[in-house]
Structure 1
Amino acid sequence: MDIKSKVFKRKTGKSAGKWIVRIEYFDDIKGKKCYMERHADKRGAATDLRNRLVDEVQKTHGQMQTGEKMTFCDLAEICERNFYQPAEIVEGRKVSGVRSVVAAQSHLKVLKKFFGKRRIRAIKTESLFDYKLWRLKTDSERTGEPVKISTVNRELSSMRKMMRFAFSSGWILKDIFFNSKVIDGSAEIERHRILTLSEEKRLLDACEGMREVTYTRKIRGIEEEITATVNVDNPQLKAMINLAIDSGMRRGEIFKLRWNDIDFNNNIIRIVGTNTKTERERLAPLSDRAKAELESLKTITKGERPFPLTTINRSFGNAKQAADIDDLHFHDLRRTAITRWIAQGTPLALAGKFAGHTQLQTTLKHYTATDAASIKEINEKLNAFNLQNDSDQNISELVN
């Protein structure tokens, strides 16, 4: 990069007597010559300033002045326009954009709320820890509960991508995330919750039939409690639960599933790269019961997708409540599937492949643990078996 610089003493004007540093260079991005002028009180200071400015212009490829004026909101707008766009997939692999634009926009919204008009050059590594502390003290807009560390980690991961883009573009002089422990995955609380067989039956039963529902109605200013029997048949929710438990599919993958991705003849589901977390295409098994549920949906669902939905939070929550199941996330059904595959003798590598894990460690870390509820259920069944066995032996001894 061709950079011209000089140091001279100004003789006239408001800055008469000051030592002036003038830098001239060509901005390849703007396609024009750029000039920069700074002043110092002494010649030695001006010479040092010139050397520093020339070094910064070289390191930033002429983008130093752009970075000096850029705010975090400006950077967010550029990132949203450049790479926070819907993913483009070529031959099953993502080549640009992001898989979940909604999540990215959600991250940008809260990041802009904190950093806002702050200049990106003023954001230091310490600022990241300030953000983390502030975020953990706020409540989630969606749930009203304190924000989880995993949520903050994902927001900071989005910011890391933005700031490294700014660094590579020459707008900042340092990667503020380098060697920083602000994103701490080990602090996240790991879930090992899986669905027991009895819970599974209750949950699936809660997706169909009649149910008594109690609600409050207000008429002419007077509130009264109403109990009514309603039809709670929800074949789509039941099919989604079966797919998650038997095929190990993520909720987003189920939402985006298309009819032509399902091979009913060979009992295989093709999950395309645009819909997966790892952005890699994979195949998943289709169980007989999940297949039957999907086939029943053909008569009631129109369009190319079996599940033309965006959320099941309310219906899944109602089903859990009716089934008397606590502390269950929809993603726990996927964990249940993979744990059962392994328990039934499926090789760990194959289970990880069906699940779409890129590392075997992920399968080992998250999906082979047994929770307390499962242990309790097994103990109850074992105790019942032993009790029956003792009873049979006593009867046999009396007969003999």
Structure 2
Amino acid sequence: MKPIYSLGYTFSVKSFAFILNYIVVSSLILKEYGSFSLIFSTLNSIIVVASLGLLYSANIFTSKWIGRNNKYIFNYFKFSFYLMTFLSLLSSIAIFYIYGYFFSVFFAILIFSASTLLEGFFYGVGEIKRLFIYGALNLALSLILSFLLVKNKGLDGAMLSLAFSRFLLFIFQLKYFFVKIESDGLFGVRYLKAIILFYKKYNIPLLISALIATPVVTLVIYMLSIRKGLEAVAIFSWCYQIYLLGMFVPTALGTYYLSVLNRKDHNSKLMVMKKITKFNLLVSVIAILFLLILSKFILKLGHIESFEESYKVYYAFLLCMLFYSLNLGYLSFWSSVGKNTFYLKMQVLWSALLVIFVLIFVGELGALAIPIGMAAGFIAQYLIQNRVIGRY
């Protein structure tokens, strides 16, 4: 049942972003939705930095030390929380000078990052069912609050929605964390040298990998907005949200796959990895067919059905889903064998291909250049990783 609960939890988290985007695109004009998309993408990039690659590394750390040295775990999480608070503050000051938001931005970055940190803990101790229940309760409250805020306060309401979208979830997570792990005091960090060494081996490669990928998407969105305007950004953003929603099953299981791979020996890891790739591909094909059938309805839902470009971007993202599904399992595999630096190289390759392609073709293709560039990067990643793992 754990894979089902993992899917359910990730759905509750991912679906909020999709539904909030729908509320905003339905309530505001298309250019305002384009502005929200830029801010939303910028925040996601910052959250990647502030969360420090902890979804996977906290999972590994917790599963390794739970029951053996709980004080070590507490100090690892305490050190991580201090660091992400500092990064959230710096980022919020920078965002304030660009967009004029501070409180909602700081709160959103810190709560999202801290919740991601605690997700890793829940996966590490195997409490995925409990995490799913917390996520479902949080989603129900967040949707009601978001609808009221956006309807009454427009773009400002959307920003406040982001700030409070994981607050209840974080409170639930934190309460259970202190049930399982006894406090070792709020000030000072013990085992600091060992924690820093762990960060160097696990957190930093994962952080840089994510830091390359997510902010690069934000970068190309800004490139698109400069060359083609906010309406092109709005078209891209709605299709991108559908793409993310369509991939939620394989991405949701990534952390669960890591938990499984951590318990396997070398030969078993390779066998499990093959099964993961086949499953991800099968699920993605089913999702692609489903989204293909509903294409006109989905584009109409996002109020972009009158733009000819939107259909091309939408279909390109469906193709992108296919190639992305081939690569998803590799993050869990390389993390489980301590080869995060190799995955980092693959992310550099993907990002470079995407930026180069968009830089060359965005003027001619507009928003279509982004999913095509993403797909080209995924193909290159798969060809290399499939060859390397065959010799592993």
Same fold (TM over 0.5): no
Structure having the higher Rg: 1
TM-score for the superposition, normalised by structure 2 = 0.24
Q: Which structure: greater strand fraction?
A: 1
TM-score for the superposition, normalised by structure 1 = 0.24
